[in-house]
A and B are shown apart, each in its own frame.
Chain A
Amino acid sequence: MVNKQNFTPTRTPMPEQPADVRNKNFKEVALGYSKEEAMAEAARCLQCKKPFCQKGCPVEIDIKGFIKHLADGDIPSAYRVIKETNALPAVCGRVCPQESQCEGACILGKKYEPVAIGRLERFVADTFDSDSACEMITGHTACSLPNDQFKVACIGSGPSSLTVAGYLAARGVPVTVYEALHEVGGVLIYGIPEFRLPKDIVAREVGALWSKGVTFMPNYVGGKTITVQDLFDDGFDAVFIGVGAGLPWFLNIPGENLVGVYSSNEYLTRINLGRAYEFPKYDTPAPKAKNVAVIGGGNVAMDAARTALRLGAENVYITYRRTQEEMPARLEELHHAIEEGVQLELLTSPIAINGDENSHVKSMTLQVMELGEPDDSGRRRPVAVEGKTKELEVDMVILAVGTGANPVLLEATPGLDLNKWGYIVTDAENGETSIPNVYAGGDIAGGSATVISAMGAGRRAAKTIADKLGV
């Protein structure tokens, strides 16, 4: 029951950089709650007997439990509760699609605004600090002592592998994480921009894992520098594959290889991993343009569009073949993008990219669409309006139309069963693949999804490995 006496129907606002300031810098957009704000927001929680929010969370955080501690001002206890099931709360508090998970299930949301669970999670994770790596990883002061009897390897260092490493490190199992790029964190580093997820936040989590005995090996390409077989030959007891789904999709339309056409992966990797926004202080060049079109309607499209604005583009368009209602991006990101000046070109689908005499992009031809009958997913299907096209003058096009399974490791791993889309087949319960003692999770096992679902898969696999090893 809502306690009417001190009930606040709206959530505590999150301090943010003003839109016309932040769209010119790469600093974080949302500034985070103060302790007073966090406690006030925590006090809005009804402490339901049956907490739907917890069911809405892919890793089933005891949400009402941590919020109770927070409402009491007890941050260490709140942190401990979150860490029971979530290895990367500072990350999840920032990038989870809360409106369709925990907050979407919050009972308050039926009539009022749901509790800002994500913001509270972020506050707890950012505020808690301890010298003990064990406490940073688990929230508990006592972790198992190192046990050199076993060793486990992870290939890829994104959210699923970091979860596996944290889970096993807490139980004393030495874990070695191999990463193809030069920095650790996978998509958290190369994919998500600084203004949405500062790298320091990722570095803090990774740092705690280092301190707890996890070894990170950057510049090791799974399937090239090391194979799964090499790892078993080296005496690893189990291997977890968390290499993500990093193969960019293109549309196969004319003009796609013109100068000025980028995959979102290239664009964001240059900016985020290569820090191209600081060129020429950093050596990686950032492609710049006046008028930019981003194709796609997901979070990656929002990230690319908002990045282009920050790099000085005058007009940035997001072209999407359905309407705003159907966009898969997080609501908050879409709103932030619009506030910052991104323009939406809805109900359009690119059919050609046109070049000038130097083979540089000069415009894009868009097919005008309308919404037809709902498809299998329940979303109304976009249908071309016969003969109706429009021309968009742009000098850069960024494709954010999704990614598929990168085959480099898969081709080098005989005996690994893949599904028809090229993703690794795993047991949904325990993450096991067709090869004994080889586990997989995250996007490579299920296709592009969220950070939190990758972490859920990592947690299930890690638990299975731990049980098998008896730790």
Chain B
Amino acid sequence: MSNKILTKKALIPGQTSMLVIDCPQIAKKAKPGNFVILRIHEKGERIPLTIADTDKEAGTITIVYLVVGKSSALLETLNEGDTILDVCGPLGKATHIEKSGTVICVGGGTGIAAMHHIAKGHHLAGNHVVAIVGARSENMLLFCTELGYFCPELLIATDDGSTGHKGFVTDLLRERLEQDKDVSEVVAIGPVPMMEAVAKVTKPFGVKTTVSLNSIMVDGVGMCGACRCSVGGETKFACVDGPEFDGHEVDFNELKMRLTQYKEEEDLSMQMFRSCSCHGE
């Protein structure tokens, strides 16, 4: 595996970028729903990122990341031709995809990238894929062109109303579910509050709802239990039992609180990174 960055594209300048990385071994095996764990430099931490796309022939995987903390800020400093120190994967259980009829894929923010891979999988399995995407404003929407290629319906919501529906993805989802009683599944990937809201909306409709959990992880192969979450009253590991789970069974409050575990340390790292030009090394 060379882990060389072949393409880098700023999707939202300074905030969200896309990398196409040369990883033939991972590309060969990766399926929608899988993720990788990256380490950017010798002193770096292991960070999980969902695979947004693969090209098996070219031997590449695509990842999309939001610059939030030190590690993603460091990743952002890499350019085409640079090499990512470690790329490990594909990890996690692949999305369960079968021909089932109409599938609604809901994506929010950077989650649209991961949603895109799953929507593509459902499309290739012969499903009618409805994509509902949401962001703060028009210039923060991702993958709309690509989704347009294979989603017969693409519904857009923005907080500021700069394009599409002014409001939340859940408004569009509720409307769509009311119109169509034959939706076989709803898949939601995005910020935790969004996934929680989606699960709330779909519950009365009794539609199977899959969410993808972005828990804190260390090894990503079921060894540490950092990513544990409660699903249907049982403890599961997001890295090996998931990351996708039944949205109606997930304890979102627990997930939200566990995600804040290293907040202080993350802030300190970021502060140090911002205050020096040495990339925090």
Contacts and interface: CB of A to CB of B under 8 A. Distances in A.
Kindly state the interface size class of chain B when it binds its partner.
Answer: 35 or more
B223 A274 contact: no
Contact of A266 (B88, B225, B260): B225
B235 A284 contact: no
Given A221-B88, A221-B89, A265 B269 contact: no
Interface in A179-212: 180-182, 190
Given A257-B235, A257-B258, A285-B266, A182 B88 contact: yes
Given A281-B43, A283-B43, A225 B265 contact: no
A247 B43 contact: no
A51 interface: no
Nearest to A286: B265
A181 B219 contact: yes
Interface string B263-281: 0011011001000000010
Nearest to A225: B25
Given A283-B269, A285-B265, A274 B46 contact: yes
A408 B272 CA distance: 37
A224 B39 CA distance: 18
Interface in A267-320: 269-270, 274-275, 278-287
B230 interface: yes
A257 B223 contact: no
B90 A224 contact: yes
Interface string B6-38: 000000000000000000011001000000000
Nearest to B86: A182
A281 B218 CA distance: 18
A248 B225 contact: yes
A250 B225 CA distance: 9
Q: Provide the main secondary structure of the chain B interface.
A: mixed
A219 interface: yes
A142 interface: no
The dominant DSSP class at the A interface is loop
A406 interface: yes
Interface string B68-85: 001100000000000001
Contacts of B43: 275, 278, 281-283
Chain A, interface size category, equals 35 or more
Contacts of A252: 235
Given A283-B44, A407-B240, A247 B223 contact: yes
B257 A359 contact: yes
Contacts of B86: 182, 218-219
A458 to B, nearest CB: 20
B258 A219 contact: no
B119 interface: no
A40 B87 CA distance: 50
Interface in B217-275: 218-219, 221-226, 228-230, 235, 240, 254, 257-258, 260-262, 265-266, 268-269, 272
A256 interface: yes
Contacts of A265: 223-225
Contacts of B225: 248, 250, 262-263, 265-266
B4 to A, nearest CB: 14
B250 to A, nearest CB: 12
A21 B220 CA distance: 35
A443 to B, nearest CB: 12
Contacts of A218: 86
A259 interface: yes
Nearest to B42: A282
Top 10 nearest A-B pairs (CB, nearest first) are A285-B265, A266-B224, A219-B88, A246-B223, A283-B45, A284-B45, A263-B225, A359-B257, A182-B86, A282-B43
Given A219-B1, A256-B235, A279-B269, 15 more contacts: A180-B221, A182-B46, A182-B85, A221-B91, A224-B29, A270-B218, A278-B43, A281-B43, A283-B71, A284-B45, A284-B46, A284-B218, A285-B265, A406-B221, A408-B240
10 contacts: A180-B219, A182-B88, A218-B86, A221-B89, A263-B224, A269-B218, A279-B265, A280-B268, A283-B45, A285-B45
